[in-house]
Amino acid sequence: MPLPPIVVFLVAENCLLREILVRILRKKEDFVVAGAVPFSASALQEISAARPDVVLFDSPRIALSGPRAIARMREAGQHAKVIMIGMEADEATFLQAVGEGVVGYVLQDAPAAENLRVIRAVAAGEAVCPPQYSTRLFECAARDISFSYNPSHEIRFGLSRREQQLVGLIRLGLSNKEIGNRLNLSEKTIKNHIHRILRKVGASDRLDIVARCQSEVPISPSREPG
C-alpha cells in the first residue's frame, strides 16, 4: 500500500519562496500543502487546525526571536517536525535553531530537489543539516550534559538513556516545559519521565534527584541557544 502523503505547512515571509515551494510541492503526489502564509497572529492557530507533519519556516526572526513561533508551537502542544529553509550560512543561527528543536536546516542556495529530499527525510524521522555544520554539531553535543551517557548511572539506578538525559537537564534548573521544548517532547511526557526517575532513584523531589545522582552525572557548562 502507498504511504499517506506528507502534510506540509509553510510559514514564509518571502513571498516568492513561498509561491515557488507551494508550486513544487503540489506537483508531487507524496505531499499535501495544508497552508502557506506569512507569519501573523493567526498563523499558529492555522497550524494547529491543519495538524501538519512538517512545518517550514524561512525566517529566524519569526521562528527563533521576536514572535518565537517555534517555542510558541511547542507551548501550545504542537509537535510537528520543523524545518528552516532558505537560510543564510550562519553557524550561530543554525545552533540556535537546533536548540529550539529544529530537525531540518536548508541553506538558501540549495536546489529544489534538495528541499524535497530534506522534507521527506525529516518526515521519515531523520534530522538533516548542511554538511559543513555536522562537525560543529557533534562538538556541541559532546560538551552538553544533556547529551552525555554514563553507563554507571544506568547500572546503579536502572535509568534509560532518556532518563539520564533528563537528570542532566533537571540539574541545569530547567522546567518541564523548557525540557520539553529542548527535546521536542510534550510537557506531559516529561512529567511522566520524571515520575519514573523519582521512583527509580528513591527521590522525593527534583532537588533530591540531583543530590542522589550527584556522583553519577558530572555537570559541565551548557551553552543556552541564542
User: With contact defined as beta carbons under 8 Å apart, do 222 and 173 qualify?
Assistant: no
Please check whether residue 59 lies inside any domain of the structure: yes
**Domain range enclosing 27:** 6-139
Is 122 a domain residue?
A: yes
- Same domain? For 122 and 183 the reply is no
pLDDT digits (tens, 9 = 90+) for 163-219: 888 888 888 788 888 888 888 788 899 999 999 999 999 999 988 888 888 754 443
Domain count, the chain: 2
Indicate if 17 and 124 belong to the same structural domain: yes
Q: Is residue 56 in some structural domain?
A: yes
> What pTM, to 2 d.p., does this model score?
0.66
pLDDT value of position 212:
83
The full DSSP string for 70-124 is HHHHHHTT---EEEEEEE-S-HHHHHHHHHTT--EEEETT--HHHHHHHHHHHHT
Percent of the chain with pLDDT over 70: 87
